[in-house]
Amino acid sequence: MPPSIDLEECLKDSPKFRYYLVREEAEIEHLEQRLEKIIKACTIAVDSGKEYVKNQSAFATSLWDLQKHFVGDKNAHNALGKIIHCFQEMNKFHTILLDQASRTVLKNLSVFVKEDINNVKDYRGHFLKVSENFDNALIKNSQANKGRQQEVQEAANILSATKSCFQHTALDYVNYITLVQARKVPSILSTLLDYYQACGTYYHQGSDLCNDFEDFFKSLSEDVNTMREDYQQLEKTMQNRHQSVNSYSDTNMNNTTNKIEGYLFKKKSKGFKTWCRRWFYLSENNQLVYSDLTGFRKRNNEENSCSIMEEDLRICTVRPVCEGDRRFCFEVISPTKSHILQADSADLLQAWITTLQKSIGAAIHDSTNSRPQSSLSSSQMNTKRKINWEHFLKIPGNSKCCDCRGSDPRWASINIGITLCIECSGVHRSLGVHYSKVRSLTLDAWESENIKVMMELGNEVVNKIYEATVPDNCDMRPPSENCDNSVREAWIRAKYVEKRFLCEMPKPSVLEENEPTTSITSSLPRNSKWGVKKFRRRIRHTSDDNDSGSINIPSMSLDLTREDLVIVGDHLKLETFEMAGIISSDQESTEGEDDSFFEEEKFDKLTPNLLLYKASVAHNLPVMCMAFALGANKLWRNELDLNRTFLHQAVLSGSVMACEFLLLNGVQIDISDDNGYTALHLATQKGCIAQAYLLLKHKAKYDTVAKDGKKPIDIAVDQRNADIVTLLRLTRLNDEIGMNDEGNGEDELYKDVMKDFSNFASSQPRMLRNRTETLEMHSRTPSSNSE
């Protein structure tokens, strides 16, 4: 918009210019007064809202006490539980709304007043000072005696310089006033629009929450009536079906609840990130699916080539995308990836976003209220499994959030091995997957390897590592269940990113001087040693025919109680426990729990890297977690042991869960040792089928040639291990067949076979080892006795 005064009037310093300044300054002052009044009122509203939330929380707590009175009345007890849960969820929504008010209204308007308006005031003071100097120069010039030529010349020079300065200053002042006046409307309106949208989300969330608690049979009756009305309407519509040929448009697409399909442009995530047009729809299994219909247009393809973009909409969110040059874009976001899609119009954009959001809500509601099925197909249960998440909460410390100690956590960090509340899980997700990989206990399907890792750790163990040295007078306030998000985020970052509360590694110089230390050991005699023992937290059940279900506790026959010996990890006070229900101990693929493992090292060799190296071969996950926390380098190689990595050692230990823990925490999978052997070479050499499957699932290279000229498949063939040969050949065949044009497809046969291997490796690892041992026995039998 053009300035409301001609700039020439500024240069002339005309009465019109002065009138403009008086008018604009008065208007800006009036605006400042009104904005300060709004900021003050909003502050009071936010403070009173926080007080309301606090009192509402106390009200909900009193209702929990009331619920205990109805322990003998199951119906009343359950009804009160649902109502209290609804109140608490609404309270959380209100807290988010208050936070949005602070982030939008208070922050944006305060910035406008403190920066824009105050800058105008500063320029006004500067302008008045220059204007006064200009007036004085005019007076001095008018008073100069014409008979004194030097005085006249000096007055003229001062007047010329002052006038130029005045004109520039006047133009800058007008510029600031003009920009502030032009910026005030969009700044204020955009701020209030953001707050309006936050209010809309608040009421929408509250409405959805109330709908979730409606009686099932009432909902079912309403759905039946709606379907009958839809049928009658459809019958009437179909009577005029031929008329729709001329009136059809894309905006008239069928967009009933949770049903939508049509063309969308999809942005590829790899390569040149080009856009391609695909036919999208929602499947009955809560999946977002798309098809390439090019073959149908050319009449040379009789089958529909479908790809699943998202396996489970329950863990996804949808939002519009305003950045970029393309219009009508929206984003589908899951915990591990995101997809950018583009509709053909604004109406279609809104239709897709609305329907996807309804589908996500309906899927979550259905999964919460549906009965558990008595049996599932193998395709659903092979590589991933739905778990009874309450079993995870029985692990020591897991019944409370690891960070804020909030009750009933429903999320987990699978690479750290802890359970979290929803608020702390959001902070963990913001740290990035290189720090924390977040999964839902109630919504996500869990791979058996992740379950094993979670079972070996837990909140109690991890907090002994990450909160070992929290001082009593700590300058940071630990988070609580209902604390501000800023307190929660500061604590979690200090704990996992800055690692402010870890024990330090003992230093040899301190130990030799016999001085006390606050690290994982106390003062020790000179020439002390350390080691890591093989350990499993859960009690392992043997599945032998003659002793089914017997308990086998790992034995430690070595004398580990010497004064000059430190067992690293004993300060964690690890205890074995028996846990049935998630995955039985018979389903473990780890070997060698019956054998003690202990290798002493001098303390001058104690580093986080060597500690993780020793803990990996001992498959002692708590100590491995501690080594990572103390700063073990994920790329480190042991120069004294063939330049092998932590993953090499985990493979040699026979442990699947140790390998999975290292891979979850970013250890490189394809590093070779001095013999040219990768982890996959060693797994194949040991005949460990479960480990080979795990490495191939994590995309390990299967064609690396060792210094002896052998690839993993050559070793498998030499050992006559048909299972691993099949795995390697199928993986190579799948790569040769190639992926589809989206870069995320796999051959269906390959996926089915890999699922079968996963199920077999997870449920019957002892059978796999027996098959390997049988092959080894036959390979050692002389040919004369082979019959």
> Any idea what the CATH number is for the domain that residue 178 is in?
1.20.1270.60
Q: How many domains does the chain have?
A: 4
- CA distance linking residue 358 with residue 364, whole number of Å: 10
pLDDT of the residue at 273: 77
Residue at 515 is within a domain: no
Residue at 25 is within a domain: yes
Do 391 and 474 share a structural domain? yes
Calculate mean pLDDT across residues 277-304.
71
Residue at 349 is within a domain: yes
Last residue of a domain, one of 312, 337, 368: 368
Q: Any idea what DSSP says for residue 113?
A: I
Residue at 241 is within a domain: no
Do 632 and 561 share a structural domain? yes
Q: Any idea what DSSP says for residue 638?
A: B
Terminal Cα-to-Cα distance of the chain (whole angstroms): 98
Do 591 and 489 share a structural domain? no
DSSP string, 46-80: HHHHHHHHHHHHHHHHHHHHHHGGGTT-HHHHHHH
Do 629 and 741 share a structural domain? yes
Element at 777 (helix H, strand E): helix 765-780
Do 403 and 479 meet the contact criterion of CB atoms below 8 Å apart? yes
Do 160 and 42 share a structural domain? yes
Calculate mean pLDDT across residues 599-605.
77
Do 52 and 126 share a structural domain? yes
> Could you tell me the pLDDT band of residue 12, with boundaries at 50, 70 and 90?
confident
Do 274 and 741 meet the contact criterion of CB atoms below 8 Å apart? no
Last residue of a domain, one of 214, 247, 282: 214
pLDDT digits (tens, 9 = 90+) for 604-634: 788 899 999 999 988 889 999 999 999 999 9
* pLDDT of 745 above 70: no
Last residue of a domain, one of 478, 497, 516: 497
Residue at 522 is within a domain: no
Range with top average pLDDT, 157-161, 270-274, 297-301: 157-161
Between residues 103 and 749, which one has the greater pLDDT?
103
* pLDDT of 421 above 70: yes
- Domain CATH for 590: 1.25.40.20
Do 201 and 144 share a structural domain? yes
Do 422 and 360 share a structural domain? no
**What are the backbone dihedrals phi and psi of residue 277, each rounded to the nearest 5 degrees, phi first?**
-100, 125
Do 444 and 356 share a structural domain? no
- Domain CATH for 330: 2.30.29.30
Domain coverage including residue 731: 527-782
Tally the residues of the chain.
Answer: 787
Instruction: Name the nearest CA neighbour of 367 among 422, 437, 444.
Output: 444
- CA distance linking residue 550 with residue 583, whole number of Å: 16
| Across 12-16, 132-136, 226-230, 250-254, least confident range | 250-254
- CA distance linking residue 636 with residue 645, whole number of Å: 6
Residue at 176 is within a domain: yes
Do 580 and 437 share a structural domain? no
Do 146 and 14 share a structural domain? yes
Residue at 510 is within a domain: no
Residue at 291 is within a domain: yes
CA 33 from centroid of its chain's CA atoms: 44
* pLDDT of 463 above 80: yes
Do 400 and 356 share a structural domain? no
Average pLDDT of the chain, as a whole number: 77
pLDDT digits (tens, 9 = 90+) for 262-285: 999 998 876 677 899 999 998 877
Axis crossing angle, helix 149-212 with helix 346-369, rounded to the nearest 10: 40
Provide the strand spans (E) within 4-50: none
pTM for this prediction: 0.51
> Could you tell me the pLDDT band of residue 707, with boundaries at 50, 70 and 90?
very high
Do 449 and 384 meet the contact criterion of CB atoms below 8 Å apart? no
- CA distance linking residue 146 with residue 152, whole number of Å: 6
